[in-house]
């Protein structure tokens, strides 16, 4: 499932290839893939792509036309991708939106989403503001250490689900929550509100380090993720615990990586992430 690093990679590639290009056509193959704003579809022809932003795990393309601004927001969901024509597209029947351009390095971007857990939205500024306010909390890459401390210590419940709670911290999913917690030495089921400020400060820096390194590696192509140009993310080569059940702990402590089956699988080392060492 694409998470924050994958969405950031998508946004960066779209930005580099298409900002300044003009839309010649916008095609929607399935009306039910558009969550909001389908009636505004004709407006996009003739508009210019002004910028590309990331909000959590979603990518927002910002268009301008006659001083008016609108957005096309793609939710990547479980299997959603934004692809250039140069990327090989398996099962082309799952391309649900096409936007064609003139004046960019690429001539088209396609929204491919076979399982359709994500949606596409066509929004004005007020609509985007409502969309973001409803769905996204702080961005883990830009949140201050003080706000991060408040988020973690003021919430009851287990730490791993909190890291993945999009209305608290937007963009972290199961892959990166596992990797962050291992590197921070924190058990997935530690109660977040009971962590010391020193532990939270450590978690804050590890979170940013892991996400930034993953972006630099092009994200993690575990199952379905490909960047718009078709390349795979290589951060999966640096996963320490995710999917490593029954393999030796990479810290060399002598324990094997275990798996907790809850709402989402948690991979952890019982020695390096001992719940008794959470303070």
Question: pTM, whole model, 2 decimals?
Answer: 0.94
- Specify the pLDDT at position 277: 66
CATH node for 4-135: 3.20.190.10
Catalytic residue of the set 35, 65, 150, 264: 264
Catalytic residue of the set 54, 57, 62, 244: 57
Tokens describing residue 70: 């609108």
The answer for residues whose C-beta is within 8 angstroms of residue 235's C-beta and 6 or more apart is: 5, 213, 214, 217, 218, 219, 220
Cα–Cα distance between 23 and 63 in angstroms, integer?
Answer: 9
Catalytic residue of the set 3, 8, 106, 179: 3
What are the helix (H) ranges across 57-157? 125-135, 145-153
Q: Burial level of 134, CB count in 10 A (0-12/13-18/19+)?
A: exposed
At residue 92, the 3 state secondary structure works out as helix
Is 276 a known active-site residue? no
CATH 3.20.190.10 positions along the chain are 4-135
Read off φ and ψ for residue 171, nearest 5 degrees: 125, -20
Domain 145-277: which topology?
Answer: Helicase, Ruva Protein; domain 3 (1.10.8)
Is 2 a known active-site residue? yes
- Specify the pLDDT at position 278: 58
Our CA dihedral for 195, 206, 215, 170, rounded to 10 degrees, sits at 20
Is 264 a known active-site residue? yes
Asked if 22 contacts 48 with a C-beta cutoff of 8 angstroms, the reply is yes
∠257-262-169 over CA atoms, to 5°?
90
Q: Is 249 left (phi over 0), alpha (psi -120 to 50) or beta?
A: beta
CATH 1.10.8.50 positions along the chain are 145-277
The answer for residues whose C-beta is within 8 angstroms of residue 59's C-beta and 6 or more apart is: 7, 10, 11, 14, 52, 53, 73, 74, 76, 82
- Specify the pLDDT at position 116: 67
Per-residue pLDDT 10s for the chain (279 aa) are 789 999 999 999 999 999 999 999 999 998 989 999 999 999 999 999 999 999 999 999 999 999 999 999 999 877 789 999 988 777 777 899 999 999 999 999 999 887 767 789 999 999 999 999 999 999 999 999 999 999 999 988 999 999 999 999 999 999 999 999 999 999 999 999 999 999 999 999 999 999 999 999 999 987 778 999 999 999 999 999 999 999 999 999 999 999 987 657 899 999 999 877 655
At residue 128, the 3 state secondary structure works out as helix
Is 3 a known active-site residue? yes
């Amino acid at each position: 499932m694409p998470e924050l690093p994958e969405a950031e990679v998508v946004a960066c590639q779209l930005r580099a290839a298409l900002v300044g290009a003009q839309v010649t056509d916008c095609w929607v193959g399935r009306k039910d893939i558009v969550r909001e704003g389908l009636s505004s579809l004709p407006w996009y022809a003739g508009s210019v792509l002004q910028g590309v932003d990331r909000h959590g795990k979603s990518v927002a393309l910002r268009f301008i036309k006659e001083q008016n601004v609108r957005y096309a927001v793609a939710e990547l969901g479980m299997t959603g991708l934004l692809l250039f024509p140069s990327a090989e597209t398996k099962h082309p029947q799952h391309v649900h939106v096409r936007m064609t351009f003139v004046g960019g390095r690429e001539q088209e971007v396609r929204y491919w989403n076979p399982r359709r857990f994500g949606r596409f939205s066509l929004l004005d500024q007020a609509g985007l503001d409502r969309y973001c306010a409803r769905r996204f909390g702080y961005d883990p890459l830009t949140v201050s250490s003080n706000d991060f401390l408040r988020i973690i210590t003021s919430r009851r419940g287990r730490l791993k689900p909190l890291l993945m709670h999009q209305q608290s911290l937007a963009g972290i999913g199961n892959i990166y929550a596992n990797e962050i917690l291992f590197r921070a030495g924190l058990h997935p089921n530690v109660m977040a509100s009971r962590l010391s400020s020193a532990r939270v400060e450590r978690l804050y820096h590890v979170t940013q380090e892991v996400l930034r390194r993953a972006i630099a590696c092009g994200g993690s192509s575990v199952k379905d993720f490909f960047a718009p140009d078709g390349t795979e993310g290589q951060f999966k080569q640096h996963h320490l615990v995710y999917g490593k059940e029954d393999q030796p702990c990479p810290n060399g402590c002598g324990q094997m990586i275990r798996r907790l089956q809850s709402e989402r699988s948690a991979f952890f080392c019982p020695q390096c992430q001992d719940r008794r060492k959470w303070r």
